[in-house]
Amino acid sequence: MGKFPGIGTTIFSVMSKMAEDHGAINLSQGFPDFDGPAELMARLSWHVNNGHNQYAPLAGVPALQEQIAKKVSRLYHCEVDPARQVVVTPGATEALYCAITACVHPGDEVIVFDPSYDTYAPCVRLNGGVTRHIPTQYPDFAIDWQRVAGEISDRTRLIILNSPNNPSGKVWSEDDIHQLRRVIEGRDIQLISDEVYEHITFDGRAHLGLLRFPDLAARAYCISSFGKTYSVTGWRVGYCVAPEELISEMLKIHQFINFSTNAPMQYALADYLRDYPDKLLELSNFYNTKRNIFCKLLDKTRFNFVPSEGTYFQLADYSGLSDEPDREFAARLTREHKVAAIPVSVFYQEPPGQRIVRFCFAKNDDTLHEAARRLAAIR
């Protein structure tokens, strides 16, 4: 008997394979259909051809650690030691696994907010922990902080946060930060803050990363992704910033999984951050425009929606089209109408019964227009 009876292949792989099999436009898995910056690609080529092809150090290439520390200082006014408080990992998912493993002992309880990214609960379970799911609901996805307080016990070891949230697009508010402080005050609870969409917020919203708040940062693993920021998801390069004592525990796990992250990609990212430090500040406007284009196109369909607050995902309510469960609707949408989406129920422990799917709008405008044409034809 395996450790995960009843758990199959992740929904992202399932829907992408279905999109390929049926010749559908893939708005399911979260990746752009365009390349990252040409200057970044040029730096990768240079480093590949100039001898940076062997193992990188365990915690990361020092030049990249230094650029991450400078970015954190510039954007969040948080000073960190690049050699002791920054770890570069093969993707943010590995950072999440290492951080969860470093925190969770058998019997520990971990609070997550549904809809939650589907890697959290399995990682907790692999480490013998128990996940306590706090559901939030479409369309506002507000957290019931009174319920959170009621779920916390002496066994609560960790709270996992995700803002901007995948799949909902919800962005945390100042009140959320205040309420988080209130419920963990005086308790030995650590935090993991999944901030891979930190640079993609809309309509003037600020990203309230935990590194902005010294009291929260003192107990937090803050995790981000260069793949999301620079449209190179296939590079699989993420990183974590945390206090030295937390990073030390994380490295004990990291060294026995991948040991180190792709070296030439790290050197290339370090150069790009050094030479174009403000490029990432353009990301919100870029994707805000994409969101607005896609939402305007969705207005011509029978889907209902509330514009996303962040990420490059847009939820849509299909109840005006079908009363099918979302998994069935997403499969039929792919097979018959040639547009792939993600059923949102997979992000819940207890599916809320809403008829919602998630579309990725990190696509070329022509892709979005053609997908919307197909969606508008559904009657």
Question: For the chain, which domains are there?
Answer: 11-30+281-376 (3.90.1150.10), 38-277 (3.40.640.10)
**How far apart are alpha carbons 249 and 230 in whole angstroms?**
29
Quote the percentage of the chain above a pLDDT of 90.
Answer: 94
**How far apart are alpha carbons 311 and 137 in whole angstroms?**
18
* Consecutive H or E run containing 38: helix 38-48
**How far apart are alpha carbons 296 and 201 in whole angstroms?**
18
Fill in the DSSP letter of residue 30: S
Query: Distance between terminal CA atoms of the chain?
Result: 45
Taken in order 280, 36, 228, 257, the sign of the CA dihedral is: negative
Q: Which residues contact 286 (CB under 8 A, 6 or more apart)?
A: none
Phi, psi of 86 (to 5 degrees): -130, 130
CA atoms lying within 13 Å on the CB side of residue 79: 0
- Side chain identity, residue 308: S
> For residue 13, what pLDDT is reported?
84
Kindly report the pTM of this predicted structure: 0.96
**How far apart are alpha carbons 181 and 215 in whole angstroms?**
9
> For residue 353, what pLDDT is reported?
87
Torsion angle in degrees (nearest 10) through CA of 124, 220, 344, 199 = -150
**How far apart are alpha carbons 234 and 50 in whole angstroms?**
22
Residue numbers of the chain with a pLDDT score lower than 50: none
- Side chain identity, residue 57: P
**How far apart are alpha carbons 164 and 170 in whole angstroms?**
6
Q: CA dist 284 to 126, 204, 234, 342, 343, Å?
A: 35, 9, 21, 23, 25
- For the stretch 227-240, pLDDT in tens is 999 999 999 999 99
Task: Return the beta strands (E) in the chain as ranges.
Answer: 25-26, 86-89, 109-114, 130-135, 156-162, 190-194, 220-225, 238-241, 313-317, 339-340, 342-343, 356-360
Q: Which residues contact 205 (CB under 8 A, 6 or more apart)?
A: 171, 309, 310
> For residue 2, what pLDDT is reported?
67
